[in-house]
């Protein structure tokens, strides 16, 4: 990011309370450094976000734009379902189209306008091999060998592991509301089994077509919603025959419809909302100097 800029426009959007600062960098503006991402993420001295999203130029004629994703700690993420809906909505409104494809670090994601202002995204095929999660050692990803608590009486054990552009550990519990997500989330995120850390989902089954999920996001903490996490939860649940392949996931911020459909692609449908527009000022932009943070 050129720290000689005096101001940088942004849009604040959210999907079910999962909130984003979106920077339109088309036209050749450089992507933010990890230091700038952390400065913008500060909810007291910056703006605050669950993820910082960049819209960048894309040379491929069949792709609308490249979407970059930063976590509040300055690290990068390969996918963010709720943000994908927000960016797709912006660009479809701009172009007047009802569909487009975005490039992400996870690959191209096709998006469509859906009913009632919703946006539908093909989140791609889940990666299920242990090396693709990635895990530190070979394991059956339907139920991996991760435990918290005493070996003979663990409080949590055996999550499903799914990569939906980022790694997820999905625990099925009796009552997701009773889980101390703020305490257990960071322990699992940084568990030795996950060399690149992991997102963590705590789910309980309501019925074959509905689950309740709470989430701890890698590099972000507790968030109101996580689109890729909802996709991972449905994949993990189907693999254990706990739910059907079309399922509503009830998150803190509201419901997402997830369908593990044709050719193993996972489809997500949900709302988007714009909170406000603003400009990032020079005091924050001055923190854009390159650094070595992950």
So which residues are the catalytic ones? 80, 226
Chain centre to alpha carbon of residue 233: 13
As a whole number of angstroms, the distance between CA 143 and CA 79 comes to: 23
What letters, b where the CB count within 10 A reaches 16 and e where it falls short, cover 123-151? bbebbbebeebbbeeeeebebbebeeeee
Task: Please provide the DSSP assignment of 22-49 as one string.
Answer: EEE-TTTPPPPPHHHHHHHH-TTTS---
Q: Residue 160 — left, alpha, or beta (φ > 0 → left; ψ -120 to 50 → alpha)?
A: beta
Nearest to 201 by CA among 181, 220, 219, 175: 181
Q: Fill in the DSSP letter of residue 238.
A: H
Sign of torsion, CA 280 285 287 289?
positive
Tell which residue, 73, 292, 52, 104, has the closest CA to residue 197: 73
Rounded CA-CA distance 244/93 in Å is 33
């Amino acid at each position: 990011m050129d720290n000689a800029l005096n101001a940088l426009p942004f849009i604040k959007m959210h999907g079910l309370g999962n909130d984003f600062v979106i920077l339109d960098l088309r036209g050749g503006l450089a992507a933010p450094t990890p230091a700038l991402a952390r400065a913008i993420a500060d909810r007291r001295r910056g703006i605050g976000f669950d993820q910082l999203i960049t819209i960048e130029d894309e040379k491929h004629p069949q792709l609308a734009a490249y979407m970059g994703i930063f976590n509040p700690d300055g690290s990068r993420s390969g996918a963010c379902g709720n943000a994908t809906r927000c960016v797709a909505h912006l660009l479809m409104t701009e172009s007047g189209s009802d569909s487009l494809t975005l490039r992400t670090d996870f690959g191209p994601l096709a998006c469509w306008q859906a009913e009632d202002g919703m946006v539908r995204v093909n989140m791609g095929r889940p990666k299920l091999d242990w090396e693709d999660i990635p895990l530190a050692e070979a394991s059956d990803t339907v139920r991996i060998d991760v435990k918290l608590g005493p070996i003979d009486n663990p409080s949590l054990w055996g999550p499903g592991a799914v990569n939906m552009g980022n790694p997820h550990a999905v625990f099925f519990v009796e009552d997701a509301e009773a889980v101390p997500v703020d305490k257990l989330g960071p322990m699992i995120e940084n568990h030795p089994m996950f060399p690149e850390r992991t997102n963590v989902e705590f789910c309980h089954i309501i019925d074959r077509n509905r689950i309740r999920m709470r989430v701890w996001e890698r590099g972000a903490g507790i968030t109101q919603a996580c689109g890729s996490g909802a996709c991972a939860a449905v994949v993990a649940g189907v693999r254990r025959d706990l739910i059907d392949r079309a399922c509503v996931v009830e998150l803190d911020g509201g419901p997402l419809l997830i369908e593990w459909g044709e050719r193993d692609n996972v489809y997500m449908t949900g709302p988007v909302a714009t909170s406000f527009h603003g400009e990032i000022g020079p005091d924050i932009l001055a923190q854009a100097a390159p650094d070595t943070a992950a």
